[in-house]
Amino acid sequence: MEQQYPSKLLENAVEEFAKLPGIGRKTALRLVLHLLRQEPQVIRNFADALLTLSSEVKHCKVCHNISDTEVCPICSNPKRDATTVCVVENIQDVMAVENTQQFSGLYHVLGGSISPMDGIGPSDLEIESLVERVKAGGIDEVILALSSTMEGDTTNFYIYRKLSGLPVKVSIIARGIAVGDELQYADEVTLGRSIVNRTEFNGKY
């Protein structure tokens, strides 16, 4: 049944919130009423943060990550290893890899993965710019760190073929049993892959 809002202005704000993924009308109403209970300045700060982001945010012209500057802080950091480039789907993935503190190279953000079902082809992603980046020289290794899905696998293979013939090593992140997982609950594909791709053990992890 159609909800009857006591105010058109309220309804508009609720409708805008309800457009966001995973936010239904009841949640949207709760969020808008929460904002209305705050000082007007809180709503202004909220709106300003979004408007400023929308108008001023850039994409790093090297790695295509979101950035406040032409070249992002990671790409312009002289301490990072510019010979290794980690290819990821999106910004959250950059943050996830950064959080591991196990990678000191640079990134290349594709903007998604090849998905014919969603109408996303190679030309919709930053793949050509990755090839250009490798062709420009100075990169020894490209690490493919995409999701372990059919779309990720397709994209890995497409990039692998695009880079073949170029003087660069292409590697892929390890797939296997997640740290903390019990063997009996692992799916057989993952377990099989972890046996095939076993690594030498010298007593340390």
Are the CB atoms for 127 and 159 separated by under 8 Å?
yes
Q: Which two tokens stand for residue 169?
A: 């090593």
Closer residue to its own copies, CB minimum distance, 51 or 189: 51
CB of 21 to its own copies, least distance (A): 6
Burial group, residue 67, by CB count within 10 angstroms (0-12, 13-18, 19+): buried
Considering only residues 12-31, where is the footprint of its own copies by CB under 8 A? 12-13, 15-17, 19-23, 27, 29-31
Q: How many CB atoms lie within 10 A of CB 40?
A: 9
CA 93, CA 3: separation in Å to the nearest integer? 39
CB of 18 to its own copies, least distance (A): 11
Considering only residues 60-99, where is the footprint of its own copies by CB under 8 A? 60, 65-68, 72-74, 90-92, 94-95, 98-99
CA 33, CA 11: separation in Å to the nearest integer? 11
Residues that bind its own copies (CB under 8 A): 1, 3-10, 12-13, 15-17, 19-23, 27, 29-36, 40, 42-57, 60, 65-68, 72-74, 90-92, 94-95, 98-99
